[in-house]
Amino acid sequence: MDLDPILLSRIQFAFVVSFHAIFPVFTIGLASYIAVLEGLFFRTQNPAWEKLSAFWTKVFAVVFGMGVVSGIVMSFQFGTNWSNFAQASSNFIGPLLSYEVVTAFFLEAGFLGVLLFGRHKVPAGVHLFAALMVALGTFISAFWILVANSWMQTPAGTEMRDGVIHVLSWSEAIFNPSFPFRFLHMVMASFLTGSFVVAGVSAWYLLLGREKEANRKALSMCLWLILFLAPAQAFIGDEHGLNTLEHQPTKVAAMEGNWETQSGVPLLLFAWPDQETQSNLMEIGIPHMASLILTHDWNGVVPGLKEASPDEQPPVSIVFWSFRIMVAMGLLMILAGVIGVILRATGKLYSTVWYLQSLRLMSIAPFLAVLSGWFVTEVGRAPWLIYGIMTQAEAVTPSLTGGMALFTLIGYIVVYAMVFTAGVYYLFRVLQMGVEDEEPVDEEHDRAMRPLSAAHVTFEAGPYPGRDQDTHAAPLNKGGH
Amino acid sequence: MQLIDLPLIWAVIIGFGVIMYVLMDGFDLGLGILFPFAPDEQARDVMMNSVAPIWDGNETWLVLGGAGLLAAFPLVYSIFLPALYIGVFLLLAGLIFRGVAFEFRFKARTSRYLWNWAFAVGSMIASFAQGCVVGAYIQGFETQNGVYVGGALDWLTPFTVLTGLGLMAGYALLGSTWLILKSEGYIQEWAYKITRPLLLAVLVVFAIVSAWTPFVDELVRERWFSTIEVIWIFPVLALFCAYQIFRHVGKRTEGMPFVATMGLFIFSYLGLIASRWPYVVPPNYTLWDAASAPESQLFLLLGVLFVIPIVLVYTAWSYWVFRGKVKAGVGYH
């Protein structure tokens, strides 16, 4: 069998973008959380808030750094693997991505440095302002990226002339039909991700009996957020789904595993969609539920997959199962919030070991939900790259061979495995160090404005290099290479 | 509408971004290339500390250039990247490794030697790949109807290997002269010592490339030998800078070798542009062919004109803050 450059490019894009997405989805939520902590500290002057903020800022720095590194790769993917798409859509996509870079540039150049390194160098109000601007900056970055993606899902305000997209109305193209839903859904997902990670880490510290006051405050705050945000997210997701039904009915049909256009469609809990036979090999469902959810009518008619010819259908199983994983995670998140409020009412929130343990596990739930959600929307668009305008086959780089695509795919997997293993390992080291006061840092020389240098945690267990006297004499590689 | 030539403005912006990137990331990549040859671990600490506060700001010019190219000259973006497919991957992989190594080396103890290697090898690969890009640009690209139709390894020819090695030597030269400026004692002495051999290597490649380039195609030959003689000013000035490097290393001047190396880069770059102007995808497409729609160029121009001055001020400020010698044993961390 020949290596298919289209399939391999899709896998490559899915791989690098999934890897990239987990970092910003966390930092967007975390940036807002830090801004709130800074605000609370500014108002109350309670040192617990400052302690929490300082700790989570360190975590933010490491995650932001990894997001930047993995983001560099993204800005070249369109050209290397999807050059026809880049060429055709650049009149619109080009400025958007550039504005994203410009925003990040601006943010990193100014306010991030103040937030990370300026705590004792600038007035408290300025520091709070920097925190707010960093949070705002993450939203603006997300805004541009989601505009680009939403436009590819529901193109508007543009027309194709001689194989090239021209913008007719910037406002229509930017605020295209699926954008508001996707943006809200994603921002909410970021808040939930931030909440669950902070809740999970705080629960872990509480189990270890570390820094009780600060961690209780953090946990309590996050659980309130989760209680309201998780159901709100389900509502927004539902609205997003209805929007998708209107603009991309085939995607929704794949999500539901619904082949025929029919009324009274059941909500399938389990099924084995088979593209060959254009049917489900086996299914268990709740009668009429899908019609009720999608049309708000017990017997509503829902379009099926067969409305599109088989070669215009997305890979159904991936969409179908990704959607179920996302929804399952969402329901678990709602449940976690509800149990939290019950335990709070009975006064046992901070002492229920099984609940704190399960919160630790739940830290990964939002990441799974986000990734599977993106799989639903991205795979569900197939075979289109720009929905209804350009297919993936038309978009791929013409000179790209399967061998080249495979080479770089393996290459990226190897590079990411090495680099991000180190990064995630390091992140866990930072988490292990915890919220407790760290040894004082030589502030005078600490003006390097790079995200990762904000975390003063050693890579291995032991004292920080440069602070123990024998570091320079001790390295194993004495004598060079 | 045609009062202003937007593609020309964008060509200047991106051309400016490229040389900013080359000069600024050049010396920190150069330090990475020199890293394995440093006299000892303390010298490596000084080398890293001399660029620690500024290197990532240097690299952001690359990202801005990449995104700006997509927005302003999509044809360049969608021909260069497919044509340089494998090279771009190596470039990115190299940059990722060295970036991460940069951060973790400071925090590492027992694994430090691994990060040393990652930093050096990453820097070398990234520099070599960038040099190949330059060579590939001089060579030109095989295209049809605005689409790259050449092979996967067209960018890897004896000529581009030469430019790859040449840029590595050039970056190493930027690195060593930067180190002269920023270090003292035995480390500075080492930097002085390696500067002349590096300069020689650069000049050898410079000579071969200069002799070779006019034969790449008709237009280049014509430009250098018949039409506009004034462009000979660029190689002459470049050679003058090279002489200044040589002289000031002999006199043990601290600042001039670096300044003259930047001059060498700038004039070689201008010479390169002069040979190919206005072709951005040689041999077929000029910058006006490659431009995106005017409204798109204008839309982004507003943002970029707002941000570039701020970035420049910020960059100047951070270089100012971290001016002066880097003392052994004192880190920015």
Distance CA B97, CA B116 (A): 10
CB neighbourhood size of A353 (10 A): 10
> Closest Cα of chain A to B205: distance in Å?
27
Q: pLDDT digit string (tens) for A3-13?
A: 899 999 999 99
Yes or no, beta carbons of A460 and B111 under 8 Å apart = yes
Domain ranges, ordered by start, for chain B: 6-183+280-320
Residue A464 belongs to some domain of the structure: no
Yes or no, beta carbons of B295 and A167 under 8 Å apart = yes
B91 and B126 in contact (C-beta within 8 Å)?
yes
Q: Could you give phi then psi for residue B143, rounded to 5 degrees?
A: -130, 160
Provide the 3-class DSSP secondary structure of residue A304.
coil
The minimal CB distance from B77 to the residues A86, A403, A464 is found for A86
Q: Which amino acid appears at position B57 of this protein?
A: G
Residue A342 belongs to some domain of the structure: yes
In 3D space, the residue among B227, B222, B218 whose CA is nearest the CA of residue B283 turns out to be B218
> Closest Cα of chain B to A72: distance in Å?
7
| Torsion (CA) A337, A338, A344, A345 in degrees, nearest 10 | 160
A298 and A288 in contact (C-beta within 8 Å)?
yes
> Closest Cα of chain A to B321: distance in Å?
9
CB neighbourhood size of B25 (10 A): 27
Is the pLDDT reported for residue B222 higher than 90?
no
Highest mean pLDDT among A279-283, A437-441, A453-457, B220-224: A279-283
Q: What pLDDT does residue B217 have?
A: 74
A233 and A185 in contact (C-beta within 8 Å)?
yes
CA distances to A68, B63, B173, B179, B183 from B188, in Å? 34, 32, 14, 7, 5
Q: pLDDT digit string (tens) for B258-289?
A: 999 999 999 999 999 988 888 999 888 999 99
Helices B112-139 + B85-107 axis angle, to 10: 150
CA atoms within 13 A on the CB side of B315: 19
Yes or no, beta carbons of B52 and A464 under 8 Å apart = no
Burial class (CB in 10 A: 0-12, 13-18, 19+), A345: exposed
In 3D space, the residue among B160, B92, B68 whose CA is nearest the CA of residue A71 turns out to be B92
Residue A446 belongs to some domain of the structure: no
Taking CA atoms, what residue in A is nearest to B71?
A: A94
> Closest Cα of chain A to B42: distance in Å?
7
Taking CA atoms, what residue in B is nearest to A73?
A: B92
Is the pLDDT reported for residue A446 higher than 90?
no
CB neighbourhood size of B227 (10 A): 10
Give B-chain residues touching A79 at CB under 8 angstroms: 66, 70, 77-78, 80-82, 88
Domain span including residue A125: 13-160+171-261+303-433
Yes or no, beta carbons of B67 and A75 under 8 Å apart = yes
> Closest Cα of chain B to A28: distance in Å?
21
CB neighbourhood size of A235 (10 A): 10
Residue A329 belongs to some domain of the structure: yes
Q: pLDDT digit string (tens) for A117-155?
A: 778 878 888 899 989 999 998 999 999 999 999 999 999
Alpha helices (H) in A248-315, listed in sequence order:
249-256, 289-295
For A113, the token pair is 């440095």
Residue A477 belongs to some domain of the structure: no
B interface mutation test: which of A13, A23, A96, A102 has the most B CBs within 10 A? A102
Q: pLDDT digit string (tens) for B125-182?
A: 999 999 999 999 998 999 998 899 999 999 999 999 999 999 999 999 999 999 999 9
A206 and A219 in contact (C-beta within 8 Å)?
yes
> Closest Cα of chain A to B278: distance in Å?
20
Q: pLDDT digit string (tens) for A235-244?
A: 999 999 999 9
Give A-chain residues touching B113 at CB under 8 angstroms: 475-477, 481
A320 and A257 in contact (C-beta within 8 Å)?
yes
CB neighbourhood size of A473 (10 A): 9
Distance CA B245, CA B262 (A): 10
The residues near A87 (Cβ < 8 Å, ≥ 6 apart) are A164, B74, B75, B77, B78, B146, B147
Residue A474 belongs to some domain of the structure: no
A interface mutation test: which of B14, B59, B110 has the most A CBs within 10 A? B110
Residue A460 belongs to some domain of the structure: no
The minimal CB distance from A69 to the residues B82, B96, B314 is found for B96
Yes or no, beta carbons of A458 and B104 under 8 Å apart = no
The overall average pLDDT reported for chain B is 89
Q: Which amino acid appears at position A464 of this protein?
A: Y
A87 and A164 in contact (C-beta within 8 Å)?
yes
Residue A36 belongs to some domain of the structure: yes
